[in-house]
């Protein structure tokens, strides 16, 4: 299927990044959110990030101008009905995602492919509540979208081959690499990454090391570009906890039990960079460990 127009639901951190790369690759993008402020902020951020890419010689000014011209915004989900592919990038809550797809369905063209950027929720279950489970799949971008090269493509039990090939063609046009994953809790990246982060929190919780020693150990001892606790703050501790809960509920294995300290930080509203406090305090000039 020839995909030309793409709808993106959610103008947050992931949604604006997805709109950015899609527009730069030549697709017409319609970005939707429930907040006009969120839409305005997203477009301003895309413009700022593209300007940075131009200054670094990674994008030509003419390509940046063309990409910005391809992005339109709307507060109405119904407007996304005229797109060929919808990427849902709303909050990582299953009930919210079901509501979005339910509102979208009456307005979609018969050929429109529905996808979710979910990092852990069952694609089969999301698809089963729509009228097109065979044209539904997971389209999981990594954060930050313009920088990260991987996209996980997750087939639900009903996803057909044509849908997979169409989404694979989009990933290739973006200049990214696709990893094909089966529809099991947290897919590939987060199935491996989140238990590592959770184990780092347990290491902190049990007093084996402090924040600084744990992060430095993994950076210098395992050559990770970022320590696991620093990475958790970047992702968002609420997101980390949500994915650990999906793993724990979906696989019923105690090795996926979220660390009580991770739960405590989320209860405190210390969610990482986005709330200025997590395993580090970001309110000063330099991040300071909180434990």
Tell me the residue range of the domain where 202 lies: 191-289
* Same domain as 248, residue 151: no
Q: What's the confidence (pLDDT) of residue 243?
A: 92
**By C-alpha distance, which of 206, 92, 189, 197 is closest to 142?**
189
pLDDT given at position 212: 98
The answer to whether the beta carbons of residues 105 and 81 sit under 8 Å apart is no
Confirm if 90 and 99 have CB atoms less than 8 A apart. Answer: no
Q: Which of 16, 116, 190, 198 is catalytic?
A: 190
| CATH number of the domain enclosing 270 | 1.10.1040.10
Which residue ranges are tagged as binding site for NAD(+)?
A: 10-15, 33, 92, 97, 119, 143, 274
Whether 190 is catalytic? yes
**57 and 142 inside one domain:** yes
Closest to 256 in 3D by CA, of 178, 202, 183, 181: 202
Instruction: Report the pLDDT value the prediction gives residue 148, as an integer from 0 to 100.
Output: 96
- Considering the domain architecture, whether residues 37 and 178 belong to the same structural domain is answered as yes
Annotation marks residue 140 as catalytic:
yes
Environment class of 243 (CB within 10 Å of its CB; exposed 0-12, middle 13-18, buried 19+): buried
Same-domain pairing of 67 and 203: no
Residues 11 and 133 in one domain: yes
Would you list which residues are annotated within the binding site? 10-15, 33, 92, 97, 119, 143, 274
Q: Which residues contact 147 (CB under 8 A, 6 or more apart)?
A: none
Catalytic residue among 16, 20, 122, 152: 152
- 199 has catalytic annotation: no
Please list the rounded mean pLDDT of every run of 10 residues in the chain (291 residues): 94 96 98 97 97 96 98 97 97 93 97 95 96 98 95 97 97 97 94 97 98 98 98 95 94 97 98 97 97 95
Catalytic position from the list 16, 49, 140, 198? 140
- The helix (run of H) or strand (run of E) holding residue 42 is helix 36-55
My answer on whether 103 and 239 are in the same domain is: no
Do 31 and 173 sit in the same domain of this protein? yes
End-to-end CA distance of the chain: 52
Of 9, 8, 13, 10, which is closest to residue 274 (Cα–Cα)?
Answer: 13
Q: How many domains does the chain have?
A: 2
pLDDT at 165: 97
* pLDDT number for residue 92: 84
Return the pLDDT at 274: 94
Q: What pLDDT was estimated at residue 1?
A: 76
Residue 120's pLDDT is 86
């Amino acid at each position: 299927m020839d995909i030309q127009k793409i709808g993106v639901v959610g103008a947050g951190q992931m949604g604006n990044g997805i709109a950015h790369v899609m527009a730069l690759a030549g697709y017409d993008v319609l970005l939707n959110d429930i907040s006009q402020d969120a839409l305005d902020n997203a477009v301003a951020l895309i413009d700022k990030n593209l300007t940075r890419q131009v200054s670094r010689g990674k994008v030509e000014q003419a390509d940046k101008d063309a990409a910005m011209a391809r992005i339109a915004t709307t507060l109405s989900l119904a407007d996304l009905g005229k797109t060929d592919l919808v990427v849902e990038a709303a909050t990582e809550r299953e009930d919210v995602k079901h509501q979005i797809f339910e509102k979208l369905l009456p307005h979609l063209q018969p050929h429109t492919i529905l996808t979710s950027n979910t990092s852990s929720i069952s694609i089969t279950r999301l698809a089963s509540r729509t009228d097109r489970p065979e044209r539904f799949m997971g389209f999981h971008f990594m954060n930050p979208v313009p920088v990260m090269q991987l996209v996980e493509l997750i087939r639900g039990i009903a996803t057909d081959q044509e849908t997979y090939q169409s989404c694979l063609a989009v990933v290739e046009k973006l200049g990214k690499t696709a990893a094909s994953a089966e529809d099991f809790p947290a897919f590939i990246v987060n199935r491996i990454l989140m238990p590592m982060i959770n184990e780092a929190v347990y290491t902190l919780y049990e007093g084996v090391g402090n924040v600084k020693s744990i992060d430095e150990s993994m950076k210098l001892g395992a050559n990770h570009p970022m320590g696991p606790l620093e990475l958790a703050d970047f992702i968002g501790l609420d997101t980390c906890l949500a994915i650990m809960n999906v793993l724990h509920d979906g696989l019923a294995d105690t090795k996926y039990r979220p660390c009580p300290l991770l739960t405590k930080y989320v209860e405190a509203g210390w969610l990482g960079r986005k709330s200025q406090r997590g395993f580090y305090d970001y309110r000063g000039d330099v991040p300071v460990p909180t434990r």
